[in-house]
Amino acid sequence: MPRMEEHIELANRNQAVLEYLLCDAGLCAETIAITAFYKSLHVLEAVFYHREKAHFHSHAERDFHIKKHRHYAGLWRPYRAMSSASYVARYLADNQTEQGFACFADYLPATDVRSKLLDGYLYGFEHLAVQLLPQGHGLNRYPKGGAVVQPIPKQPSPPVVPVP
């Protein structure tokens, strides 16, 4: 069972990916939605481990647990919103309403990914979640209005040497 520290490390890796993807949110909106959701999932699992030594293996179990326990109530709405956005990004359908979409932008325009999904839901989720984690938890939080990180410059590829 992964411990809190492992989940925090995975959440931090997702944060690094988000920062990179935000260099071109229009091109990467779907991937940003998926990454934001999985970051929140790892933060939630870190909270569960810290508070209860619990770990869940399915979305259904995790969803049931967060809804069942009152002290997690504030986390449900932003977590559910990110889960829904991630689902639409992957399947172009809302698993709650079963509504289909021709493209992710029909669900959430790229211009709204940062303001609604990240500045709204992810930021709010993390603000509540860190209150349930111990001091020194090590989570790299999404900064509201998140700073755009410059893309990593491409390194020249080594020459291809034919194999005799």
What pLDDT, in 10s, does the model give residues 34-62? 999 999 999 999 999 999 999 999 999 99
User: Is residue 160 one of the residues assigned to a domain?
Assistant: no
- Taking residues 98-103, what's their average pLDDT? 95
- Of residues 146 and 18, more confidence is placed in 18
Supply the pLDDT for residue 1.
74
Neighbour-count burial of 52, counting CB atoms closer than 10 A to its CB (0-12 exposed, 13-18 middle, 19+ buried): exposed
Give residue 160's pLDDT band: very low, low, confident or very high (50, 70, 90). Answer: low
Domain holding 95, by residue range, is 4-132
Tokens linked to 13: 């890796």
- Of residues 158 and 143, more confidence is placed in 143
Distance in angstroms (rounded) separating the CA atoms of residues 39 and 27: 20
pTM for the whole structure: 0.87
Contact between residue 37 and residue 122 where contact means Cβ atoms under 8 Å apart: no
User: Is residue 74 one of the residues assigned to a domain?
Assistant: yes
CB-based contacts of 18, cutoff 8 Å, min separation 6: 32, 35, 36, 39, 118, 142, 146
Give residue 149's pLDDT band: very low, low, confident or very high (50, 70, 90). Answer: very low
Q: What is the mean pLDDT of the chain?
A: 91
- Taking residues 99-115, what's their average pLDDT? 96
- How many domains does one find in the chain? 1
**If we measure between CA atoms, which residue out of 66, 127, 16 comes closest to residue 56?**
66
Give residue 154's pLDDT band: very low, low, confident or very high (50, 70, 90). Answer: very low
Tokens linked to 34: 């998926």
User: Is residue 94 one of the residues assigned to a domain?
Assistant: yes
User: Is residue 161 one of the residues assigned to a domain?
Assistant: no
User: Is residue 40 one of the residues assigned to a domain?
Assistant: yes
User: Is residue 146 one of the residues assigned to a domain?
Assistant: no
User: Is residue 118 one of the residues assigned to a domain?
Assistant: yes
User: Is residue 152 one of the residues assigned to a domain?
Assistant: no
Give residue 114's pLDDT band: very low, low, confident or very high (50, 70, 90). Answer: very high
